[in-house]
Structure 1
Amino acid sequence: MEAWNYANLWESVAAAAPDRPALIQGPRVVRYGEFDRRANALARRMLDAGVSHQSKVGAYLYNAPEYLETYFAAFKAGLAPFNINYRYGGEELTYLLDNADAEVVVFHASFAATADKVRGNLPKVKLWLAVPEAGHPIPDWAEDYEAIASAGADKVVAPWGRSGDDILMMYTGGTTGMPKGVMWRQEDLFKSLGGGANLLLGLGPLETVAEAGERVKAVVASGAPQAVTMAVAPLMHATAQYISLGALNSGTAVAVLPSRKFDAVELFDEVDRLGVSSLIIVGLAFAAPMLETLDANPGRWKLSSLLRIVSSGTMWSAENKQGLLKHMPQVTLMDSLGSSEAPGLAGSMANAAAPAQTAKFAVGANAAVFTEDGRRVQPGSGERGLLAVGGHTPIGYYKDEEKSAKTFRVFEGQRYSVPGDWATVEADGTITLLGRGSQVINTGGEKVFPEEVEEALKRFPGVRDAAVVGVPDARFGERICAVVDFVGDKAPTLPEIAAHVKSILADYKAPRELVLARVERAPNGKLDYRSVKEMALKSLAAPAT
């Protein structure tokens, strides 16, 4: 049987429906046949550069069709693609490319100045491919990506062939340390993400690679409209990337926004223009301005094509979900709890008939909660434990055996991925997410997870976003500081905020410091707690005016 390799799957779809849109950005449409031929040409150029089996290919790109073309080319050539945070500066970029042993780097031409500063420290890179952009010339040390891709080529298979063992690497954000490359066998990633199942089409997992094309042929023959998934979040983030990979398995078109800065008006314009059926976001960084825009423009958009919004990677408040559902009652909101190394930990679905709850999830099919010493947490016990997911899991972290041993552990004779999320198990078997242990605040011997306080803060009227950090305290070791992004005429006071939190959580979890400031999040929706803490400390130390 043909290997569970994404190149094989997408080639099957391209052969079945070559004229169907595969990738969309604004007026640009790349159809499946073109997607296949462009990736062939890129794969051939990478092989000609002298790479070897499983050489690493970095995608230093904004959201664009070229992102998924780069991955397709790498899969075809038996190479291992990996994501690069496009916000990284020189030192961060050098570290990442060196750590990954990158041999090919595909980058938007506007990143040429940054790439030029670091390339002298990266002797392993054999090929730099620059994606053209208006006003940004292709540097003489790089090759023109578009000139290569647009020429197209017939099917490319490397001398070493393709395998389900071929790797995709997903680098984590590094907000609590240097980025780590999560190594996924393609077969394991494919199966952990449902094995080609499609909820919108009511289809179960694929039995063979060929069936991917057969299913698409059946959909085309039926006359049903093509599904369109829009990656609103960056493709460098696991949520958007993993779901987009799966969407292409079913012949879905993957769209990205025309602009590089998120604009909710543009988003809703594109939903109506393209008939988008699914959106991929990351929590309130996207959902908050979406709701504000809908509230400010009632009835401006139809949005009738939209059936689901998927989020993962950060908490998404129940209040925001309920607000969105008032505008789009036909939509199902899917809040997935997972990470780069552990998709499918748990999930929550909300629709007009089933109200949402913040941080309350149903445990995934292969997931459980264990204490640090390996005991399974019993429902209703009130005991805290670590979320773990078994089944198809990553190999480990690239070149980091120590971190791999801490994250990939054996409980009850089974290997689990344990990324560090703490939770309790309720009497009904659902879990309540507490947060990531690396950010826990120890105040007077009590452990407080920032995420649960943040979610309480977001329920205060006028709070657009919030972050919680621990700041030094002579008596308690740390005290809780709330950084609140407030919109409105009358800003809240610390006593008001503290009383609000106490009405929801235990008293010791209430903030004892308050900083009113914009809460900055990365493009993937996540907080850099170190930067937030530095900002809070500076603000608290500044003299009152």
Structure 2
Amino acid sequence: MNNSIFEQGLPKTQANHVPLSPLTFIERSASIYPDYPAVVHGDVRRSWSETWTRCRRLASALEKRGIKPGETVAAMLPNVPAMFEAHFGVPLAGCVLNTLNIRLDAEAIAYMLEHGEAQVVLVDPEFADVVEEAVSQLAIKPLVIDVDDALFEGEVRHIGGLEYEALLAEGDPDYAYRLPEDEWQAISLNYTSGTTGKPKGVVYHHRGAYLNAVSNILEWAMPHHPIYLWTLPMFHCNGWCFPWTIAANAGTSVCLRRVDPRKIMALIADEGVTHFSGAPIVLNGLVNLPDEDKRDFDHPVKVTTAGAAPPASVISGVEKMGIEVTHVYGLTEVYGPVTVCAWREAWDELPMEERAKIKSRQGVRYHMLEALCVADPNTLEPVPKDGETVGEILMRGNNVMKGYLKNEAATEQALEGGWYHTGDLAVWHADGYIEIKDRSKDIIISGGENISTIEVENAIYSHPAVEEAAVVAKPDEKWGETPCAFVKLKVGYGEVTEADIIAHCREHLARFKVPKTVIFSELPKTSTGKIQKFVLREEARKS
């Protein structure tokens, strides 16, 4: 124990040491900016004061219904105001929010509700059938709350005994809400995709949510009162913690039920949207909009895009539209993005294509991530910063998950050696910026040579006829594996053949990296816009 003079007679007290929680952000914004806009959804316009009151009513109503601190409240909702409110109202009652992937089937939803022991589930009418079937499979039934939405265009069918607005009416607007006694307490539960087995429940704590929310502001140099468009699903890593970020900055959440490039362009122009986030597929949709659907806007607009590097052609296409791209990277286990391609002024002088290539790097750690390295996953020895040696991306910090719910073995494996093991393979450049080469499960080993699917995809994307591309390993008797490309072509471009794509790749890649097979098709995607390579790998095996 440290017995220095600075540790004597200077204890932690309530006056100088409090648990960090993003719930304090909404309290502050509602008190300082009560009349500022908080939520926009069609004709719905709510201030921070109104939103704060609704969140406290939700927390109070949950408590009155017998939901206890530490219990789970699930939400099967698109990006509607109730989903935003749940990020505050549920933890204000001391409960844990489980945002469910709205594209999953009843079997997967039933597993998550049972595994997470959900006591309540909020349901949008669009997903009534799926949730009803899921709940029917449960021995212990949660309280089902129907959440109506005027912008839902289908038939409204209630499956619970109570509608959301009626639930709020039960709550006390002056509810004495709970802040956590310990910042290590869980604030939310997020399930992984489960493509290689049962989904794992990733548990977030208040401290990590607080820090990642603040980091979003720092990395993006986000000004006060941003207007944020919800192109990113709020169920995905709690919307990368942006509900709490927007509350911290007293911004405006512009809700969007479904990603539609035309609607996105309209909202940017009509609502003055300044920021939005999404997978590369969202950017690709904007770039490929017909000219008649594009809109002019004269205010600054910024977008963060996450995951594997967007093709340079997509980044440059979006920036030509007047939207500044920031590339970030992260995983569910680290609250969403925790690295950023931090920009340097010297790069402003480079040609657009060169700038886009740099922006496709995953970059350096967020302010709030303690450490980031590329290393041998077994020895934990960092790889040389030569831009060539491949290693695994490892992370450490306060914004790494508590662990996997009810899965100690998986938790220990993921956090082995004092690092979170991402499973992503990357190189480390001399300037300290990392660049992903592949997922460890996606790398193609052909004749003993490692082939980065991302590198092959970038070559394919540079063909002017290509709208989307994905490359996976195809079993081969001679080489073990060879690259197999799945390609979606732009509408109206003209005839493009397998031979054309292969010839184009030969101009840009070493011969052993060129796809041996090209399949033209629609590409299956997750609800967050990521291409489902496990589906394509199965198709490649059969082709």
Cα separation, partners in 2 of 1:244 and 1:40, compared to 1, 3 Å: closer
Matched, 1:371 2:376: yes
TM norm structure 2: 0.86
Cα separation, partners in 2 of 1:505 and 1:402, compared to 1, 3 Å: farther
Report the Cα offset of residue 162 of structure 1.
5.1
Question: What is aligned with 1:146?
Answer: 165
1:115-126 alignment runs, 5 A limit = 115-126=131-142
Matched, 1:296 2:291: yes
Matched, 1:391 2:394: no
Matched, 1:84 2:104: no
Question: What is aligned with 2:202?
Answer: 182
Question: What is the distance in 1 between the residues matched to 2:138 and 2:447?
Answer: 47
Contact kept, 8 Å, 1:344 with 1:364, in 2: the verdict is no
Contact kept, 8 Å, 1:275 with 1:306, in 2: the verdict is no
1:186-201 alignment runs, 5 A limit = 186-194=206-214, 197-198=217-218
Question: What is the distance in 2 between the residues matched to 1:315 and 1:491?
Answer: 28
1:211-230 alignment runs, 5 A limit = 226-230=225-229
Question: What is aligned with 1:61?
Answer: 77
Cα separation, partners in 2 of 1:530 and 1:52, compared to 1, 3 Å: same
Residue 407 of structure 2 aligns with an amino acid whose one-letter code is: D
Question: What is aligned with 1:216?
Answer: none
1:106-121 alignment runs, 5 A limit = 106-121=122-137
Question: What is the distance in 1 between the residues matched to 2:451 and 2:91?
Answer: 43
Report the Cα offset of residue 201 of structure 1.
6.0
Residue 16 of structure 1 aligns with an amino acid whose one-letter code is: I
Report the Cα offset of residue 313 of structure 1.
2.7
Which shows bigger deviation, 3-12 or 385-394? 3-12
Residue 290 of structure 1 aligns with an amino acid whose one-letter code is: L
Question: What is the distance in 1 between the residues matched to 2:284 and 2:505?
Answer: 20
Gaps of 5+ in 2: 1-16
Question: What is the distance in 1 between the residues matched to 2:508 and 2:261?
Answer: 31
Matched, 1:238 2:231: no
Question: What is the distance in 2 between the residues matched to 1:458 and 1:239?
Answer: 31
Contact kept, 8 Å, 1:314 with 1:526, in 2: the verdict is no
Contact kept, 8 Å, 2:73 with 2:119, in 1: the verdict is yes
Question: What is aligned with 1:212?
Answer: none
Question: What is the distance in 2 between the residues matched to 1:289 and 1:405?
Answer: 40
Report the Cα offset of residue 383 of structure 1.
1.8
Question: What is aligned with 1:276?
Answer: 273
Question: What is aligned with 1:321?
Answer: 315
Gaps of 5+ in 1: 204-218, 220-225, 541-545
Deviations 1:288-309 (A, max 9, x none): 120122x6249x5332223311
Q: Percent identity?
A: 23
Contact kept, 8 Å, 1:359 with 1:433, in 2: the verdict is no
Contact kept, 8 Å, 1:22 with 1:32, in 2: the verdict is yes
Residue 292 of structure 1 aligns with an amino acid whose one-letter code is: N
Contact kept, 8 Å, 1:59 with 1:83, in 2: the verdict is yes
Residue 378 of structure 1 aligns with an amino acid whose one-letter code is: P
Say which of 264, 278, 282 aligns to 1:286.
Answer: 282
Question: What is aligned with 1:464?
Answer: 467
Question: What is aligned with 1:406?
Answer: 413
Question: What is the distance in 2 between the residues matched to 1:119 and 1:381?
Answer: 50
Contact kept, 8 Å, 1:22 with 1:251, in 2: the verdict is yes
Question: What is the distance in 2 between the residues matched to 1:9 and 1:423?
Answer: 36
Deviations 1:447-475 (A, max 9, x none): 33323322221112211011112222222
Question: What is the distance in 2 between the residues matched to 1:375 and 1:505?
Answer: 30
Report the Cα offset of residue 157 of structure 1.
4.0
Cα separation, partners in 2 of 1:246 and 1:353, compared to 1, 3 Å: farther
Cα separation, partners in 2 of 1:138 and 1:163, compared to 1, 3 Å: farther
Contact kept, 8 Å, 2:60 with 2:171, in 1: the verdict is no
Question: What is aligned with 2:538?
Answer: 534
1:339-358 alignment runs, 5 A limit = 339-342=331-334, 343-348=336-341, 355-357=355-357
Report the Cα offset of residue 152 of structure 1.
5.5
Say which of 166, 178, 183 aligns to 1:164.
Answer: 183
Question: What is aligned with 2:429?
Answer: 426
SS of corresponding position for 1:439: coil
Tell me the matched-pair count: 506
Question: What is the distance in 2 between the residues matched to 1:7 and 1:316?
Answer: 33
Question: What is the distance in 2 between the residues matched to 1:157 and 1:199?
Answer: 34
- Give me the CA root mean square deviation: 2.6
Question: What is the distance in 2 between the residues matched to 1:131 and 1:234?
Answer: 17
Contact kept, 8 Å, 2:192 with 2:200, in 1: the verdict is yes
Question: What is aligned with 1:475?
Answer: 478
Cα separation, partners in 2 of 1:3 and 1:239, compared to 1, 3 Å: closer
SS of corresponding position for 1:472: strand
Say which of 497, 504, 510 aligns to 1:506.
Answer: 510
Contact kept, 8 Å, 2:123 with 2:144, in 1: the verdict is yes
Question: What is aligned with 1:31?
Answer: 47
Question: What is aligned with 1:210?
Answer: none
Cα separation, partners in 2 of 1:201 and 1:377, compared to 1, 3 Å: closer
Deviations 1:270-299 (A, max 9, x none): 11211111011211x111120122x6249x
SS of corresponding position for 2:314: helix
Contact kept, 8 Å, 1:232 with 1:240, in 2: the verdict is no
Which shows bigger deviation, 10-19 or 345-354? 345-354
Question: What is aligned with 2:156?
Answer: 136
Report the Cα offset of residue 484 of structure 1.
0.5
SS of corresponding position for 1:460: coil
TM norm structure 1: 0.86
SS of corresponding position for 1:418: strand
SS of corresponding position for 1:438: coil
Question: What is the distance in 2 between the residues matched to 1:192 and 1:388?
Answer: 17
Residue 460 of structure 1 aligns with an amino acid whose one-letter code is: H
Report the Cα offset of residue 18 of structure 1.
1.8
Which shows bigger deviation, 416-425 or 472-481? 472-481
Which shows bigger deviation, 28-37 or 125-134? 125-134
